[in-house]
Amino acid sequence: MSGIVSYGAYIPQFRIKIADIARPWKRQDVEIVMGLGVIEKAVAGIDEDTVTMATEAAIQALSSADIKKEQIGATLIGSESHPYAVKPSSTIVSELLGIHGNYFAADLEFACKAGTAGMLLIHSLVVAKKITYGLAIGADTAQAKPGDILECTAGSAAAAYILGSKHVIAQIIDSTSFSTDTPDFWRRDGQKYPSHAARFTGEPAYFAHVLSASTHLLEKLSMTPKDFDYCVWHMPNGKFPKAVARKLGFSKQQMQPGFLVERIGNPYSASSLMGLSATLDIAKPGQKIFLCSYGSGAGSDAIAFWVTDEIVAFQKKKRITIQKQLDKKQYIDYMEVFQRQIIRNSQ
């Protein structure tokens, strides 16, 4: 058995309402909110970035795991907003956690699916018995050009997962991936903000990859959506995941626990992993979880999990759940966010 041993997540306490972003740009705020299906989003503070958020999430994961930090044999961080163009985030986070020397480290970048890519790579290392435990993190301070519609959804958060073969709370049953060269979203070297192909990001990009990876995994497992208790998707907005769930045959009830985009926006590499954390917070032994990520450029990872009896003891530990972090928030106005972005870009 190999899978998730522990996890932690971090959501910045600052929030901004999507209507407040739309208004200064003369957009119809009600139409924007209804069209995107997002009410508010999480915003990183001036002193927060991918590294600090990844560290916060990883500290939670380690504090809830019955292992020593020296047993971590690999640290992988998936993000498209690493603070350094040339210097790994993974080594900074590892040192802050007290992991030093004999471990494998790497930064991953595959748009919004870099977090699940890290999870599958760590899982493979564990299964191959190259490491005993590994740390996979998805974290982003999502970027968007001021005035771009993307600014209404780009959020900030981090999710960290420790994987191993002992004290597993959620076993990885199997996985599939689907990848193509589909240029729906990109940012060239030296550019401050990403570009996107507007509606092209839907049918030939998000839907084609998520549906293909998901269908392949269901066929591989000889299972149907009804065999799962929960489903989690990458959430670029509030409408795409609902549509893909409906097309595959998953219900609103299966998706609801991990459907966080309405309240935190799209934290890119952390999106689907945050949804998984929220789902694991309330999952029971014997239940099955279906997850499918998506990363522009483009690709999807579909993963099936089986929740073990170990989840009961894990949930009883003193932890900071997703719900607690959703409830702890402080609203800021659009000009504060704009000023923070200017300060961050000047550093």
List, by residue number, the catalytic residues. Answer: 80, 112, 234
Q: Work out whether the CA dihedral 150, 262, 272, 135 comes out positive or negative.
A: positive
- Distance from C-alpha of 55 to C-alpha of 92, rounded to nearest angstrom: 9
- Distance from C-alpha of 267 to C-alpha of 242, rounded to nearest angstrom: 18
- Distance from C-alpha of 237 to C-alpha of 152, rounded to nearest angstrom: 9
Report yes or no: 242 and 255 within 8 Å, Cβ to Cβ. yes
Query: What DSSP assignment string belongs to 225-275?
Result: GGG-SEEEE--SSSSHHHHHHHHHT--HHHHGGG--HHHH-B-GGGHHHHH
Query: What DSSP assignment string belongs to 11-55?
Result: --SEEEEHHHHHGGGT--HHHHHHHHT--EEEE--TT--HHHHHH
Report yes or no: 233 and 292 within 8 Å, Cβ to Cβ. yes
Provide the β-strand partners of residue 77.
107, 137
Tell me the three state secondary structure of residue 332.
coil
**Please, which contacts does 339-343 make with residues 24 or more away whose CB atoms are closer than 8 Å?**
340/43, 340/44, 340/45, 340/46, 341/146, 343/46
- Distance from C-alpha of 209 to C-alpha of 178, rounded to nearest angstrom: 6
